[in-house]
């Protein structure tokens, strides 16, 4: 099968290309050539900026296209319309952030998506990101009706994840000592291994499956406590978790999701269902989740190959963590 991947050298795109090559498919990459250009030396690479010039794609033919990096409806529409006569099937990688209401659990593929007052905006913010992705989905489906697969992943994790939202916990717990953790320990978390997601997308592409699918995981519900304890077991560390309540974290201006990855305060119900997305449709369509121990172990092994002093993009600094633990203990000793 001849596959055109828009993107293809960063995280999910990288995993998709690796999976496709392993299965013997012929892959062409179309991207700006700025991220990890040394990857896949034997693969055809078309260098260009999809936002300004698609001419390099003209007159070519592929069986399918996988679009891993569409954020602007205008740009995605141009790509889909150009490729409508050049490919049989289009896969668009979206996000669960498209949903208008993530305050309740079990959001499924039929739930309403967010809308924008100004659909021409191209400014990506926390408020516009999801609705813009929803407009991108619609642009592809309008250009290629009946030939589109839309994948809405939740939190994607694993080796080569430069966001560090998952990697922070894996690495921090491996270092041992007292680890600041958000209460309650029973908070649910959802994440999907990038390799499981890539394998499933490729399976769906090979079968020319269409429609909209939430792609979340793991296969069984996991709490923050179970996740952190598994990190401890996998790394063999002596970590001791200091569970602090969200009132304390918010009082001390600890940023959810950024300084405390995978934590969303329950006092703000807007995103209380973010880690309880309904993903049964994808599982019935063949999505298989590996054990979380494997994801944790492989992520830790990758993290340990990064240069010393690599600055984490998410997570709290050791100094601030120690100070917060000191304050927490002092408050509770009164």
Distance in angstroms (rounded) separating the CA atoms of residues 6 and 290: 27
Across the range 216-232, mean pLDDT stands at: 95
Torsion of CA 313, 316, 318, 319, to 10 degrees: 120
Q: What is the pLDDT of residues 178-212, one digit of tens each?
A: 999 999 999 999 999 999 999 999 999 999 999 99
| Cβ burial, residue 123 (10 Å; 0-12/13-18/19+) | exposed
CB atoms within 10 A of CB 10: 18
Place of tokens 């998709």: 16
Domains and CATH numbers, the chain: 2-153 (3.40.50.720), 167-189+220-270+291-332 (3.90.25)
107-114 average pLDDT score: 97
Q: What is the mean pLDDT of residues 47-57?
A: 97
Strand 188-189 with 222-223, pairing: antiparallel
Is the peptide bond prior to 218 cis by the omega test (within 30 degrees of 0)? yes
Q: Residues with Cβ < 8 Å from 187, sequence gap 6 or more?
A: 223, 224, 263, 266, 275
CA-nearest of 191, 200, 244 to 222 is: 191
What would the mean pLDDT of 167-175 be, rounded to a whole number?
98
DSSP 8-state class, residue 254: P
3-state helix, strand, coil in the chain (%, to 5): 35, 15, 50
The span from the CA of 312 to the CA of 305, in Å, is 14
pLDDT band at 334 (very low <50, low <70, confident <90, very high): low
Could you tell me which residues are beta bridge partners of residue 281?
none
pLDDT digits 0-9 by tens, 235-274: 999 999 999 999 999 999 999 999 999 999 887 778 888 8
| Alpha carbons 21 and 326: distance in angstroms, whole number | 51
Question: 157 with 196: CB under 8 angstroms?
Answer: no
What digits encode the pLDDT tens for the residues 116-150?
999 999 999 989 999 999 999 999 999 999 999 99
Outline where the chain has alpha helix (H): 12-22, 73-83, 129-143, 167-174, 194-206, 224-235, 246-251, 280-284, 292-303, 318-332
Supply the pLDDT for residue 220: 86
């Amino acid at each position: 099968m001849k596959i055109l991947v828009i993107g293809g050298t960063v995280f999910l795109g990288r995993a998709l290309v690796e999976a496709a090559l392993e299965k013997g498919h012929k892959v062409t990459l179309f991207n700006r050539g700025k991220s990890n250009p040394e990857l896949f030396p034997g693969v055809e690479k078309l260098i260009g900026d999809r936002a300004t010039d698609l001419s390099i794609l003209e007159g070519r033919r592929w069986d399918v296209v996988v679009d891993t990096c569409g954020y602007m409806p205008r740009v995605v529409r141009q790509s889909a319309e150009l490729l409508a006569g050049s490919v049989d099937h289009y896969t668009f990688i979206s996000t669960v952030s498209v949903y208008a209401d993530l305050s309740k659990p079990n959001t499924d593929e039929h739930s309403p998506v967010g809308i924008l007052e100004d659909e021409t905006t191209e400014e990506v913010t926390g408020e516009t990101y999801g609705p813009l992705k929803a407009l991108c989905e619609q642009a592809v489906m309008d250009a290629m009706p009946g030939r589109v697969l839309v994948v809405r992943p939740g939190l994607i994790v694993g080796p080569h994840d430069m966001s560090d939202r998952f990697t922070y916990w894996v690495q921090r717990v491996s270092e041992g000592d007292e680890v600041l953790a958000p209460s309650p320990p029973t908070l649910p978390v959802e994440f999907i291994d990038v390799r499981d997601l890539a394998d499933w997308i490729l399976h769906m592409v090979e079968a020319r499956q269409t429609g909209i699918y939430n792609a979340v995981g793991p296969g069984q519900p996991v709490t923050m406590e179970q996740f952190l304890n598994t990190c401890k077991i996998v790394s063999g560390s002596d970590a001791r978790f200091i569970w602090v309540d969200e009132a304390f974290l918010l009082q001390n201006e600890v940023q959810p999701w950024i300084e405390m990855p995978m934590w969303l305060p329950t006092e703000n119900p807007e995103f209380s269902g973010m880690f309880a997305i309904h993903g049964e449709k994808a599982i019935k369509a063949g999505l298989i989740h590996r054990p979380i121990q494997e994801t944790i172990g492989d992520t830790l092994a990758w993290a340990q190959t990064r240069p010393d002093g690599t600055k984490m993009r998410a997570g709290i600094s050791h100094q601030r963590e120690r100070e917060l633990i000191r304050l927490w203990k002092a408050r509770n000793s009164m």
